[in-house]
Amino acid sequence: MNSIGVDVGGTKIAAGVVDADGNVLDEVRYPSAGSPEVLIENIFRAVSEVRGSSEVGGVCLAVPGLILAQENKVVFSPNLPNIEGIPLKDELEARIEAPLTVENDASAAAWGEFRFGAGSGVDHLVFITLGTGVGGGVISHGVLLRGAHGAAGELGHTTIHATGPRCACGNRGCLEALASGSAIARRANEMAAERTDSALGKLAVKRKILGEDVSRLAREGDDAAISVLEEAGTWLGVGVASFVNVFNPEVVAVGGGASEAGELILSATRREVHLRARSPSRDLVRIQSATLGPESGVLGAAALARGGDGEYVLGDGGGDRA
Amino acid sequence: MNSIGVDVGGTKIAAGVVDADGNVLDEVRYPSAGSPEVLIENIFRAVSEVRGSSEVGGVCLAVPGLILAQENKVVFSPNLPNIEGIPLKDELEARIEAPLTVENDASAAAWGEFRFGAGSGVDHLVFITLGTGVGGGVISHGVLLRGAHGAAGELGHTTIHATGPRCACGNRGCLEALASGSAIARRANEMAAERTDSALGKLAVKRKILGEDVSRLAREGDDAAISVLEEAGTWLGVGVASFVNVFNPEVVAVGGGASEAGELILSATRREVHLRARSPSRDLVRIQSATLGPESGVLGAAALARGGDGEYVLGDGGGDRA
C-alpha cells in the first residue's frame, strides 16, 4: 500500500505519496514558518491535499531535532523551535485518520538511502548529512538504530578533536564544528584573509563568503577554495574512520547541501579513512555521495510509515541470531 | 540446553559449561601459549574435559582480534598471533561434534554483560573493556552489532583527539592511546618524574610503574596517582560522550583490568560526559562498572553458542519495525 512521508524542514513542509518501490506519486509543499498552530495546520493541509481520496497505510513526519520516540514528540529543535514540545501524534493522528509516527529527519533520510538509494542492497549503512549542521543515521543488520529514547544517530556530535573549536551544541571539537557547511564557510572567510590573491580572497573584499561560493570557486579551480574543501573532507574522514571501526559498514553515504562539492570533499575523506581506520573494515567500505538528494527525507519517512507492510527482512548477517 | 563458552586469552584458555540462566556449572583452564597446533589441541581438550559426558547445544570461542564472521576465522590478533589465519571452525567443529562459532572476545563479553550483568534488563548497552588495549561491544535494540564482516565494535579505535598520541594501531589520538591500562602506566611514569615527592614519584625511583600500582596508590590517597586516573577517566569520558550521542544507550558498562580503579576513573568519566554529550541521552544513561568481571567472556560466549534456544527477543523499543 502507498504511504505518506512528510519532511518538515526549517523553511518548508514537503509531503509526498510514495509507493512500495520508492516512487513519489505526488508531492506538495507548504511553508513551515509561523506559530505552532499554523505549523500543525499546514502539516495537516499538506497531508490532506497530497492524499486526495486515495487510501494510505500510514504517515510519518520527519522533523529536525531530538525526538522522544515513546512520546512521538520533539524535545529540541534549534532549526525549527516552533515544533518543540508539541505532541504531534496526539494533535494530528485523529484528524489525519491514519497511523502517524514521528522520526528524526536525518534518521528518515538514512532510511530512504538504505531502502532506495546509496544503501539499497546492503545491510549496513552509515549516512551523514552535511548541511548547516552535521546529522546522521545508522542502519546496522538492517535495523535503524534509534537508541533507547529515539535520540541515537547524532554522528555530528562525536568529538574528533577534544581541544577543537566550539560547536553549536556547547561541546568542543565535534565533527559538526569542523566539517559542516557552516564550518566550511567560516574557514573560507579565514582563508580569504590569508590568501588575498585567490578568487576566494577577491570575493571576500565584496561580501561575506557562503558555503556554496566555496564549492563553485573550487570547481573553477581556485586553490584556496579547494584547500578549504580538502580540509573539511579530511576532518570528515577523521569522523568516518571512527564510524568505520565502530560499525564496519558496507557503505558510508554523504548527503546534504555541502555534499554537492562531491569528490572535492570525498577524496580527502577516503585518504584520511585509509590512514586512520583499521583493516579489514577500511578496505571493504565504500565511501560515496548519497544518491536521492533532497527527496531522501520524504522517501525514508514514507518507507518508515509503511510499518509492517514494508518491513525490512533481516539478511543472513543479522545480529539477532544469538 | 547448556552450552560451552571458551575464552581464548593471551595467556590462558578458559572453557565453561553454562546453563540458560548464566550459571557456570563447570570450568577448566589450559595455557594458550605454543604453536597453532598446540593451541587448537588445547582448545579441543578444554572443551572435551569440561563437557564430560553431558550434551551441549553449541560451543562459541571468544578470541582476541578481528574476526571475519563469514569464515569464522581470526584475521588479526596482536595479543595472540598464533591464532591468526587458522580456520578454527573447520579445524574444531567436526572433532567437537557440536555447532561451533567464533566471536571477538570483547563482543562476547559485551553479550555476557547484556544477558547476565550490567545490561540485564535493558535493550541498549555499550560495553567498554579497559585492559592493555581498549575493546568494546555494542548491543542496540537487543542486537549485538557485528557489522558487515564481523569487525564492528572497535570502540577503542575511535579518534577522540585528532593530533593526540600515536596508538598501537598506527592512528593518532585513539581512545585506546589515551585511556587504556598502557596509557595509564605511561602517563604515571611521566607524572612520577614531574612529582618526585609523591608516592608515585618515590616508587618510580625503585622500578617502572605498572597500571596496578596506580590504582593501589590512588586508593591509598596519593594525589599524583589520583590525577593520573582522573585524566584517563576524563579521556574515557570524551569517548563515552560520543557513544552516548551515537547510540543513546541505557547503560555504559566499563570492565577490564584497569576498570578495577572503579569510581577513581568513572567519576571523571561521568563529569566529562555531562559536559560533552547531549540531552536527553546524557541525562538518561547510566555509566557504571561491569559486574561479571573476568567471567563475562565465558558467559557471553556460552550465551552466543546457545543460538536459537537462547535467542533474545526484541523488546518494544526494537528498531526493526520499519
Q: Is the pLDDT of residue B219 over 70?
A: yes
Q: What is the DSSP letter of A101?
A: E
pLDDT, tens only, B267-279: 999 999 999 999 8
Interface of B with A in 155-214 (CB under 8 A): 155, 157-164, 169, 171-173
Residue from A116, A246, A252, A274 to probe the interface with B (highest B Cβ count within 10 Å):
A246
- Judged by a CB distance cut-off of 8 A, whether residue B321 touches chain A is yes
Do B148 and A314 count as a contact with CB atoms less than 8 A apart?
no
- Distances, alpha carbon A99 to alpha carbons A88, A93, A95, A192, in Å: 12, 6, 11, 52
Q: What is the pLDDT of residue B159?
A: 98
Does pLDDT of A85 surpass 60? yes
Q: Is B245 on the interface with A (CB under 8 A)?
A: yes
State how far the alpha carbon of A22 is from the alpha carbons of A117, A292, A304, B280, in Å: 9, 11, 12, 33
B39-53, B157-171, B302-316: which range is least confident on average?
B302-316
Give Cα separations from A200 to A38, A205, A223, A229, A258 (angstroms). 41, 9, 9, 12, 17
Question: In terms of pTM, does the model score above 0.90?
Answer: yes
Name the band, by pLDDT with cuts 50, 70 and 90, for residue A307: low
pLDDT of residue B307: 67
Given CB atoms, is A240 within the 8 Å cutoff of chain B?
A: no
Reported as half-sphere exposure (CB side, CA atoms, 13 A), residue B1 has a value of 16
Residue in the block written with cell 534518521: A107
Which of A126, A139, A141 has the most B C-beta neighbours within 10 Å, making it the best mutation to test the interface with B?
A141
The pLDDT, as a whole number, for residue A273 is 98
Out of B154, B248, B322, the one facing A278 most closely (by C-beta) is B154
Residue A316 pLDDT exceeds 80 = no
Enclosing H/E stretch for A273: helix A263-276
DSSP per-residue letters across B228-252: HHHHHHHHHHHHHHHHHHHH--SEE
Q: Compute, in degrees rounded to 10, the torsion defined by CA atoms B242, B173, A280, B148.
A: 0
pLDDT tens-digit series, residues B37-54: 999 999 999 999 999 988
Taking CB atoms and an 8 Å cutoff, what residues of chain A touch B304? 322
Q: Quote the percentage of chain B above a pLDDT of 90.
A: 77
Q: DSSP readout, A165-223?
A: PBPTTS-BSBHHHHHSHHHHHHHHHHHHHH-TTSHHHHHHHHSPPPHHHHHHHHHTT-H
Does A247 contact chain B (CB < 8 Å)? yes
The reported pLDDT for the residue numbered A308 is 47
Q: What would the grid cell of residue A62 be?
A: 520527519
| Separation of alpha carbons B81 and B69, rounded Å | 18
Give the pLDDT confidence of A162-207 residue by residue, as tens digits: 999 999 999 999 999 999 999 999 999 999 999 999 999 999 999 9
> H helices then E strands: how many in chain B?
11, 12
Of A66, A148, A161, the CB nearest to B124: A148
Whether A68 and chain B come into contact, CB under 8 Å, resolves to yes
* Rounded average pLDDT over B175-185: 96
| Helix pair angle (B88-96, B36-51), 10° resolution | 30
Q: Indicate if the pLDDT at residue B86 is higher than 90.
A: no
Q: Judge: B66–A314 Cβ closer than 8 Å, yes or no.
A: no
Quote the ipTM score: 0.93
Decide if A76 touches B, using CB distance below 8 A: yes
Backbone angles phi, psi at B86, to 5 degrees: -75, 130
* Angle formed by the axes of helices A211-219 and A263-276, nearest 10°: 90
Q: What domains are defined for chain B?
A: 3-105 (3.30.420.40), 118-291 (3.30.420.40)
To the nearest whole angstrom, how far is the Cα of B20 from the nearest Cα of chain A?
A: 12
Nearest chain A Cα distance for residue B147, angstroms: 5
Which residues in chain B have their CB less than 8 angstroms from residue A275's CB? 171
From chain B residues 290-309, the ones with a CB under 8 A of any chain A CB are: 303-304, 306-308
Q: Which residues of B touch A281 (CB under 8 A)?
A: 147, 149, 151-152, 154
Using CA atoms, how far apart are residues B105 and B6, in angstroms rounded to an integer? 10
Task: Kindly write down the DSSP assignment for every residue of A136-164, as one continuous string.
Answer: EEEEETTEE---TTS----GGG-BSBTTS
